[in-house]
């Protein structure tokens, strides 16, 4: 476990935690409790629940594709409201507090609107505030580029702001407060036997986040992993120990499987009767990549007639675009039919224990076979096995695997 010599924590509160004035009061109480426990606190806030989407809808009522500079200026304004309201709530409790925008803080990013990356944070004023007993409340999600324009960090950007701030301040840990009390072995809405995980390593959390677990955005986990900043997922609605995400503890025996995810927003694209020639995969995937479409699971089946069926998965919202690119492409090299299948799901098992345990794949496939669940595609890494199955079998697959690996024990 990574222990830092610091009495400071960064607490981030998401949209559901600050959904209304009652929630701001509750969050202020959590911050005060932490301070009374002898901890210094810096806070990062998201916009109130639904506010960012409201602003997006307003912009698109006026222009279908709003100017990126103005769009970022608009959609980042919700965080400024949240920061000011929480600072007011803390002052009401007789605690010194000050709200900070990205500009006031000096959180510098690159020039990419909508998905900017953090280059630097000026923490001088924050340190002075904290040393003076002032609780800084910082807007998440936003930054300032080299021209002084407001940028946004993309989906889950407030988590990234919090982690970056925790690293810059050398905090003991970064606490992410949300409406769930930790990371679970699977989605409790899918299977009621899902169990909260007390501690999980960065590597496992990265896989879970990339595979559909919605508790943390992958970019914030990547940042925390890179700088070995411990993350703790907590609920702002109840008191619990949450889930600690930290580096792998090699002194302990790891569970073979830590969690199971299910992604229902994938589509499968099949390109049939493609010539089996060197470089054909590059010819197929290069224009897909150039269009900004990420490809996930890939399977190539070569027939006896020297032709191949090339299959891969993409996200649903980009599947039509990917299929059209392939239809245009097939005319150039004599490929055949392009088939788009949307009713699929990706079910994955994740665990660092796979590194030292053989037979996990056979056990997984056997459990699915016992439930007569057909596997369309398979993808593996050192600590993950993913299968693509029919969407109407996904929930049954998750339950079968959760029981097979006894994750409720």
Domains (range + CATH), the chain: 8-249 (3.40.1160.10), 260-404 (3.30.2130.10)
Contact, 56 vs 75, CB < 8 A?
Answer: yes
pLDDT tens digits, residue range 110-144?
999 999 999 999 999 999 999 999 999 999 999 99
pLDDT tens digits, residue range 51-64?
999 999 999 999 99
| Predicted confidence (pLDDT) at residue 3 exceeds the cutoff of 60 | no
| Predicted confidence (pLDDT) at residue 266 exceeds the cutoff of 50 | yes
What are phi and psi for residue 274, nearest 5 degrees?
-90, 140
- To the nearest 10 degrees (0 to 180), the angle between helices 51-62 and 68-75 is 150
| Predicted confidence (pLDDT) at residue 252 exceeds the cutoff of 70 | no
3 state SS of 349: strand
Q: pTM of the predicted model, to two decimals?
A: 0.87
pLDDT tens digits, residue range 318-363?
999 999 999 888 876 666 789 999 999 999 999 998 888 889 999 9
What is the mean predicted confidence (pLDDT) over 44-71?
Answer: 96
Q: What pairs with residue 308 in β-bridges?
A: 274, 302
Task: Please choose, from the candidates 124, 125, 136, the residue with its C-alpha nearest in 3D space to the C-alpha of residue 95.
Answer: 136
pLDDT tens digits, residue range 294-328?
999 999 887 666 778 889 999 998 999 999 999 88
**Distance between CA atoms of residues 46 and 75, nearest Å:** 11
DSSP state of 294: -
What is the mean predicted confidence (pLDDT) over 162-179?
Answer: 96
Task: Please choose, from the candidates 75, 72, 226, 97, the residue with its C-alpha nearest in 3D space to the C-alpha of residue 163.
Answer: 226
Per-residue model confidence (pLDDT) at position 4: 55
Band the pLDDT of 272: cuts 50, 70, 90: confident
Place of tokens 């409340």: 137
């Amino acid at each position: 476990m990574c222990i830092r010599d610091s009495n400071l924590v960064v607490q981030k509160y998401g949209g559901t935690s600050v959904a209304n004035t009652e929630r701001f009061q509750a969050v202020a109480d959590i911050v005060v409790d932490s301070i009374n426990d002898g901890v210094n606190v810096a806070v990062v806030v998201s916009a109130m629940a639904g506010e960012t989407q409201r602003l997006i809808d307003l912009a698109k009522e006026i222009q279908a594709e709003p100017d990126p500079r103005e769009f970022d200026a608009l959609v980042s304004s919700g965080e400024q409201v949240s920061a000011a309201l929480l600072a007011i709530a803390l002052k009401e409790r007789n605690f010194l507090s000050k709200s900070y925008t990205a500009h006031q803080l000096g959180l510098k990013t690159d020039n990419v609107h909508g998905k900017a990356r953090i280059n630097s944070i000026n923490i001088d004023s924050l340190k002075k505030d904290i040393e003076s007993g002032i609780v800084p409340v910082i807007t998440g999600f936003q930054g300032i580029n080299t021209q002084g324009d407001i940028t946004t960090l993309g989906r889950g950007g407030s988590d990234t702001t919090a982690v970056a701030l925790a690293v810059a301040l050398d905090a003991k840990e970064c606490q992410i407060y949300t409406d769930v009390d930790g990371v679970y072995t699977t989605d409790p809405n899918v299977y009621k036997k899902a169990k909260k995980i007390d501690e999980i390593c960065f590597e496992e959390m990265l896989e879970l986040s990339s595979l559909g677990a919605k508790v943390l955005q992958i970019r914030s986990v990547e940042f925390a992993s890179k700088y070995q900043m411990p993350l703790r997922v907590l609920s702002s609605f109840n008191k619990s120990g949450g889930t600690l995400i930290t580096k792998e503890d090699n002194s302990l025996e790891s569970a073979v499987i830590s969690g199971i995810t299910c992604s229902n927003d994938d589509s499968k694209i099949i390109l049939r009767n493609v010539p089996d020639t060197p470089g054909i995969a590059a010819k197929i995937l290069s224009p897909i990549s150039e269009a900004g479409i990420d490809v996930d699971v890939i399977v190539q089946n070569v027939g006896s007639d020297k032709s191949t069926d090339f299959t891969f998965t993409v996200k649903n919202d980009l599947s039509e675009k990917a299929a059209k690119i392939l239809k245009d492409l097939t005319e150039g090299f004599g490929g055949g039919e392009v088939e788009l299948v949307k009713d699929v799901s990706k079910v994955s098992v994740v665990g660092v224990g796979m590194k030292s345990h053989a037979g996990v794949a056979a056990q997984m496939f056997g459990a699915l076979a016992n439930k007569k669940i057909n596997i369309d595609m398979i993808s593996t890494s050192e600590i993950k096995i993913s299968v693509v199955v029919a969407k109407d079998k996904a929930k049954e697959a998750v339950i079968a695997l959760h029981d097979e690996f006894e994750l409720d024990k």
